[in-house]
């Protein structure tokens, strides 16, 4: 045994190494199972999948791409959070700072924005594929419902992020969207039957979303918290349920 | 090379392999088959995203100015389908009721679709109506409205073809009338009663027509298996979806603004 192999043996046999890596890389059927079941990043997969479910033409990878886009927005979003202050006074200046002064600042912002758009499109195509292959059929009915909730959360994530650059596009696009709150029946001051609850412009569904009657610094902070903490947290919980159920019900095809 | 696997033998946990269940069992190992495709797919997508992000900058306009409203003022592109519907419906309907119906309507799909065929494979022949309905809702009503909202709507939310310049002074003739007016009904309450009757009639007759059509094509036995709650839910969402298109066609063809006009809400 050469010195190199002796050295390698000592490392891989040490208690530290074996406490982290529980199996080797040899290509045996059992090790293939262990690769998945013994790995925290892969264990949401079943250890075996149907042959046809792996084919690219079957899934178009769209669910995976959606999740990948989510991960990209998380990583780039945290980078952006280091350089961004969610107040009307600084937000726009911080965008310019990111754009011109920060290393990779513009690239991170671009990737964050385009990945968010990509995520919306990938969610739609994923739903389209799931519909075409009837993958929502028993026993996966409830997972489709969870998926619809994730669709709504994806749109809300994108929508709340829209306000943060605090440019003309931001505040007016969000104004258009949030006016729906004012138009809500019963709960919005411009909606039908609003007299019933006596809501007014500073105390109705839109004001709840805005944190006040008009769009302003309070809105920016509210959307920032929603965008960076609340919705990602809720979305992650639903994603865990979504993935777990796919794993339990098997990747596509009739019930096990 | 020595066998590193042998060294690790004592730490291994025995995982019993599931026995193959016969010739129908076509399963393959997740590692490496699925993990490899996932990894390659992620690499390609990330590469495309990075190149795209290097070439195209995310938009950043002038600083926010609450006193200067841009014209047109557009929502994010994925909501432009809803914004486009504002042309045809009041905000409470286009912005609140219809989105709610879309979301709930999507959620009920697996519970109203009892066709056991097409589970886990592509087929058009075995699910013609289901797939055509989804195409109608997704492509015709959602995607095409987004395309219209993005590319065809200019100042004043007026229609501009892509080759037309956005003229902010374009004058659109306001010739819209309400449906009761079109039928010569001038009275306030008679008009409201007429509008309500039209909407109620649409849903009642539509449901009956759907019932008759399904019994005729699929048979009474299928209808019994499907059950009344499933059928009524399907009819409600389907007729609502169709009504959006009907209202849009009524506006474009006959300049109809509202069907039902009341002091509280207009549809």
CA proximity to B96, closest of A159, A202, A234, A177: A177
The answer to whether A142 and A122 have CB atoms below 8 angstroms apart is no
Best B3, B12, B53 member to test A by mutation, with max A CBs in 10 Å, is B53
Contacts of A65 in chain B (CB under 8 A): 41, 45
Contacts of A68 in chain B (CB under 8 A): 42, 45-46
Q: Does the distance separating the beta carbons of B3 and A28 come in below 8 Å?
A: no
Residue A50: enclosing H or E segment and its boundaries? strand A48-50
Cα B256 versus chain centre, distance: 24
Strand ranges inside B2-66, DSSP E: 27-29
Best B7, B34, B126 member to test A by mutation, with max A CBs in 10 Å, is B34
State the average pLDDT for chain A: 91
Radius of gyration from C-alpha coordinates of chain A:
24
What span, in angstroms and rounded, lies between the C-alpha atoms of B115 and B112? 9
**Given B50, B54, B62, which is nearest A168 (Cβ)?**
B62
Phi, psi of A203, rounded to the nearest 5 degrees: -150, 75
Q: Does the distance separating the beta carbons of A26 and B2 come in below 8 Å?
A: no
**B165 C-beta neighbours (distance < 10 Å), count:** 7
The answer to whether A133 and B122 have CB atoms below 8 angstroms apart is yes
Contacts of B64 in chain A (CB under 8 A): 88, 92, 166-168, 170-171
Establish if A173 touches chain B: CB-CB under 8 angstroms.
Answer: yes
Q: Does the distance separating the beta carbons of B53 and A114 come in below 8 Å?
A: yes
Spell out the per-residue pLDDT of chain B, length 267, in tens: 444 444 444 444 443 444 434 334 578 888 888 899 999 999 999 999 999 999 999 999 999 998 999 989 899 999 999 999 999 999 999 999 999 999 999 999 999 999 988 888 889 999 999 999 999 999 989 999 999 999 999 998 888 999 988 988 887 777 788 898 888 888 888 999 999 999 999 999 999 999 999 999 999 999 999 999 999 999 999 999 999 999 999 998 988 999 998 888 888
Q: Is A254 helix (H, G, I), strand (E, B) or coil?
A: coil
What span, in angstroms and rounded, lies between the C-alpha atoms of A113 and A77? 9
β-pairing verdict for B27-29 and A48-50: antiparallel
What span, in angstroms and rounded, lies between the C-alpha atoms of B257 and B89? 8
DSSP B64: P
**Taking the model in full, what pTM does it have?**
0.90
What does the pLDDT look like over B197-236, one tens digit per residue?
A: 999 999 999 999 999 999 999 999 999 999 999 999 999 9
The answer to whether B202 and B243 have CB atoms below 8 angstroms apart is yes
What does the pLDDT look like over A188-237, one tens digit per residue?
A: 998 899 888 889 888 898 998 898 888 999 999 999 999 999 999 999 99
Best B24, B75, B130, B263 member to test A by mutation, with max A CBs in 10 Å, is B75
The confidence score (pLDDT) of residue A253 equals: 62
Q: Is B155 helix (H, G, I), strand (E, B) or coil?
A: helix
What span, in angstroms and rounded, lies between the C-alpha atoms of A90 and A75? 22
- Biggest alpha carbon distance in chain B? 96
């Amino acid at each position: 045994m050469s010195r190199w192999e002796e050295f390698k043996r000592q490392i891989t046999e040490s208690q530290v190494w074996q406490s982290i890596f529980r199996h080797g890389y040899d290509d045996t059927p059992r090790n293939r199972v262990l690769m998945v079941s013994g790995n925290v990043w892969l264990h949401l997969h079943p250890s075996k999948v149907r042959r046809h479910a792996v084919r690219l033409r079957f899934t178009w990878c769209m669910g995976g791409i959606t999740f990948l886009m989510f991960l990209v927005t998380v990583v780039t979003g945290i980078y952006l959070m280091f350089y961004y202050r969610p107040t009307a006074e600084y937000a726009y200046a911080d965008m310019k700072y990111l754009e011109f002064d920060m290393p990779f600042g513009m690239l991170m912002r671009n990737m964050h924005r385009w990945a968010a758009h990509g995520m919306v499109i990938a969610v739609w195509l994923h739903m389209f594929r799931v519909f075409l292959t009837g993958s929502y059929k028993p026993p996966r009915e409830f997972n489709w419902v969870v998926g619809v909730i994730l669709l709504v959360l994806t749109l809300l994530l994108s929508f709340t992020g829209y306000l943060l650059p605090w440019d003309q596009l931001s505040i007016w696009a969000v104004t258009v969207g949030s006016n729906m709150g004012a138009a809500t029946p019963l709960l919005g001051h411009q909606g039908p039957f609003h007299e019933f609850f006596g809501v007014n412009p500073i105390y109705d569904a839109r004001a709840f979303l805005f944190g006040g009657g008009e769009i302003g610094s309070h809105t920016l902070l509210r959307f920032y918290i929603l965008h960076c903490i609340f919705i990602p947290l809720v979305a992650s919980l639903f994603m865990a349920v979504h993935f777990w159920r796919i794993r339990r019900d098997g990747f596509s095809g009739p019930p096990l | 090379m020595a066998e590193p696997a042998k060294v690790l033998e004592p730490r291994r946990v025995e995982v019993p392999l599931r026995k193959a269940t016969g010739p129908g069992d076509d399963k393959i190992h997740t590692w490496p088959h699925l993990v490899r495709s996932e990894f390659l797919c992620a690499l390609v997508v990330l590469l495309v995203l990075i190149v795209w992000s290097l070439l195209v900058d995310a938009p950043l306009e002038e600083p926010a100015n609450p006193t200067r409203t841009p014209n047109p003022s557009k929502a994010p592109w994925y909501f432009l389908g809803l914004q486009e519907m504002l042309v045809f419906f009041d905000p409470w309907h286009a912005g609140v009721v219809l989105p709610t119906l879309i979301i709930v309507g999507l959620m009920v799909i697996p519970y109203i679709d009892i066709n056991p065929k097409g589970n886990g494979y592509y087929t058009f022949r075995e699910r013609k109506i289901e797939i055509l309905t989804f195409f109608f809702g997704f492509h015709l009503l959602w995607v095409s409205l987004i395309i219209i909202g993005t590319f065809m709507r200019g100042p004043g939310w007026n229609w501009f073809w892509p080759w037309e310049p956005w003229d902010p002074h374009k004058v659109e003739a306001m010739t819209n009338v309400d449906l009761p007016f079109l039928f010569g009904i001038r009275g306030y309450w008679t008009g409201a009663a007429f509008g309500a009757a039209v909407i109620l009639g649409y849903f009642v007759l539509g449901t009956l027509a759907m019932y008759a059509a399904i019994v005729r094509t699929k048979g009474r036995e299928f209808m019994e298996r499907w059950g009344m709650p499933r059928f009524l839910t399907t009819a409600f969402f389907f007729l609502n979806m169709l009504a959006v298109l009907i209202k849009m066609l009524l506006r474009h063809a006959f300049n109809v603004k509202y069907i039902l006009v009341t002091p509280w809400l207009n549809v």
